[in-house]
Structure 1
Amino acid sequence: MKSVFCFLLFVFSFNIFEAQVVYEPFHSNKLGESREIKIQLPRGYNNDVKKTYPLFVVLDGDYMFEAVAGNVDYFSYWEDMPEAIIVGVNQSENREQDCLYSEQNSLPIESGANFFEFIGDELIPYMQNKYRVGNFKVAVGHGETANFINYYLLKQQPIFQGYIVISPELAPKMNAFVTDRLQKFESKTFYYLATTTNDISTIIKGTEDLNKNLSAIDNKNLFYYYDNFERASHYSVPTHAIPKALEDIFSVFHPISKDEYKDKILKLETSPVEYLVEKYQTINDLFGIEKQILINDFKAIEAAIEKKEEFQYFEDLGKLARDEYPNTLLGNYYLARFYEENGEPKKAMRTYQSGYSFEEIGGITKDLMLEKADAIKADFGY
């Protein structure tokens, strides 16, 4: 386990060198002191480009920042999640004071209330003013800070849309607070909870009780995920939980997988093309990113149309391909398939032929287009 942990740290450190990392003191009026913060910007980040990024706020930045930053950089490199900005807050000397809450009502008091306001009223506005931060924000915490990030759920208009809650040392009333609040959310909220079989006994009990309550919530706006890892310790569980949380929260951003194709697309009773459009509209709605539809995803929808022999959907797929890749053969290929499968061979032949002036893409070549046109010509004597 130790060797695996060291390897992961090496990978995270290597990835961080590729991204832009800034360490700086941040003076807080709320705290009455300066705190060191760590900021990682995406590779090739340019503040002049009109593009926004999700923001991760990482508590326990002394040891959690590198784990989150490395994973975010890795997943975004492979386009399994959007590029993101990460800010970590060092708390090694102030953790207990930062997380202080009342024994009577389990809510932040004194230094804990000040830290709560520091994050929401100072740090996040600073990041928004200085960098191209989008609407989607994720809070990450471990142990005491995992409990603390739940307080932001209780605000009337929460500043975070995603919560990565790892081995939380829950305040006495936190289970009830979180359960009640997540039942009522009217906007999409992502909540990831994790523990380990080797965790501290009180944490295991509190996390299992919270999971039981959250699993019973029926709210279409809540996207809830839970993991109980085998053998990991309380201190190593973040290395297991963080990549899993990113996979879960940003699952809609992934290219269409074999499971998504088999379990969702092939079982559709409606248009698979509409499914594809809605997938990318969801990405835009959640993350503010106008992501170009991947060729891989066009191919997945093409395969589903072929398998289910619902060839009428090739027309819509062709029109969508023309919008997404107007200078390529993709749109003409699908439209020609539509005409060919729906009894219009002459129109199919001409559409295959007319694509010759466009760029090749995704295995669709000019030779392939001409071969298909020639096959129709030979069959029908045109």
Structure 2
Amino acid sequence: MRRLLPFVMAILMPFLQHSQTKYESITSEKLGETRQLKIQLPRNYNENQKKRYPVMIVLDGDYLFEPVAGMVDYYSYWEEMPEMIVVGINQGGIRMEDTSYGENNFLPAEKGARFFEFIGMELLASLDQKYRTTSFRVITGHDFTSNFINYYLMKENPLFKGYINLSPDLAPETANRVTSSLKSAESKKWYYLATATNDIPGLKENILSFDNQLKTVENELVEYKFDNFQNATHYSLVGKAIPSALEDMFKTFGPINKKDYNEILLQTSISPTQYLIDKYNSINELYGVKKQVRLNDFLAIYNAIEKTKNWQDYKDLYKIAYENYPGTMLGTFFEARYEEETGNPKKAMRIYQNAYGQQKIAFLDTDFMLERAEAIKKDFGY
């Protein structure tokens, strides 16, 4: 880990410098003490006063916060995942007490029970009150703290929707209880599990057995991913697992990729525009994020319509474009293409001409739009 983290942090440092990291204290009645937090706010948090953000809770914040926060900032910068509020709980020297469980039922006991309630009843409530949060929450832990995060999944109404387990030191019955919880889950859950070929032998053996159990879960509401990293250790796997977990958890959020375009959008039985609508509705429903449709996603749909000749799809597409990019030529172009290909060339010509004075966007500018209008005028002699 000592060799890997400097390399990882060298990559992420420019992103951490642009994000807003705060150091706060929270006094807990449950614990009877004050705990130290690290909080990374999204880059434009203060400017976007109406925007709300999902929350990532990171246990072992004294060493795990920076790699998680850096990767969240990196992936959200490239719009591969939503911006998130990342909160690290420092546990240096007390992580064993925080994650303690009973020897009879193997559930949080003594300080472990109080720490469990601190997160669920005090910390999350405090964050919701102080910051603009959504109900989409993810929790991350490593070995002892990774085992601990699973106790939230065992509740009837889990507080977290995503669980990132980095080489968990599993308590007895945890594997059975988690498997049962995921099988009976009635709302969307994301579960990530990682080990490595050079992980601590006892942990790796239990994790591999746990993975075999989780593979029996047949629940459409559960997204499960497992990684067994080659030649990584108990510590170095962290640098590989975090991006893998984020990529899988937020794959629906990412832009339309080449695989989606070739295997889905170019199928003539598929409505490209409906695919776009469903994709952004899913982003809103899954992650609690109202996201503007990416310009590149509009262009992917445009190219698919041109190739498949699903001209009727332009009708809904231009309405979405007007809503997402008002004042630009995008909606105007799609509307003109709709009229042009559905038998109304004169109307299309006038719509192209209406683009004069609108903002240019992508490949669309005044010259391009007026040339389209002139081409129609010449072809039909208007």
| TM, length-normalised to structure 1 | 0.95
How many corresponding residue pairs? 382
Letter in 1 for 2:359: E
Q: Who is 1:63 aligned against?
A: 63
Is residue 185 from structure 1 mapped to residue 181 from structure 2 by the alignment?
A: no
Equivalents in 2 of 1:174, 1:305: separation in Å?
50
1:52–1:289 Cα contact (<8 Å) kept: yes
Q: Is the 8 A contact 1:189 1:223 kept in 2?
A: yes
SS in 1 for 2:356: helix
What is the CA–CA distance in structure 1 between the aligned matches of 2:249 and 2:265, rounded to whole Å? 20
Listed one character per residue, the Cα deviations across residues 296-345 of structure 1 (whole Å, up to 9, x for unaligned) are 00011111112222222122211221222221111121122122222322
TM superposition shift of 1:121: 1.2
| % same residue | 50
1:101 partner amino acid: Y
**Shift in Å, 1:2:** 6.2
Asked if 2 retains the 8 angstrom alpha-carbon contact of 1:190 and 1:249, the reply is yes
Contact 1:12 1:69 in 2 (8 A): no
1:298 matched to which residue of 2? Answer: 298
Q: Does 1:52 align with 2:52?
A: yes
The DSSP-based 3-state class of the residue aligned with 2:363 is coil
TM-score by length of 2: 0.95
Q: Distance in 2 between matches of 1:230 and 1:2?
A: 18
In 1, distance between residues paired with 2:34 and 2:4?
A: 35
Aligned to 1:259: 259
Amino acid at match of 2:22: V
Q: Which residue of 2 aligns with 1:113?
A: 113
Q: Deviations over 1:91-127 (max 9, x none)?
A: 1211111111123322111121111111111111111
What is the distance in 1 between the residues matched to 2:337 and 2:242?
44
- 2:138 equivalent to 1:138: yes
Distance 1:136 1:180, change over 3 A: same
Distance 1:237 1:306 in 2: 45
Structure 1: how far apart are the matches of 2:227 and 2:110? 33
- Assess if the C-alpha contact under 8 Å between 1:59 and 1:140 holds in 2: yes
Aligned-pair distance for 1:138? 0.6
Seen in structure 2, the aligned counterparts of structure 1 residues 224 and 6 have a Cα distance that, compared at 3 Å, is: same
Task: Name 1:346's counterpart in structure 2.
Answer: 346
After superposition, where does 1:364-379 map in structure 2 within 5 Å?
A: 364-379=364-379
Cα separation, 2, equivalents of 1:317 and 1:15: 35
Q: Give the 5 Å matches for 1:64-143.
A: 64-143=64-143
CA distance in 2, matches of 1:324, 1:20: 28
Q: Give the distance between the partners of 1:274 and 1:81, measured in 2 at CA.
A: 22
State the superposition RMSD in angstroms. Answer: 1.8
- Structure 1 residue ranges without an equivalent (≥5): none
Whole-angstrom CA distance in 2 between matches of 1:210 and 1:265: 37
Between 1:204-213 and 1:126-135, the stretch displaced more is 204-213
Written as runs of structure 1 = structure 2, the 5 A alignment for 1:330-345 is 330-345=330-345
2:50 match: secondary structure:
coil
Deviation of the 1:11 alpha carbon: 3.1
State the shift of 1:142 in Å. 0.7
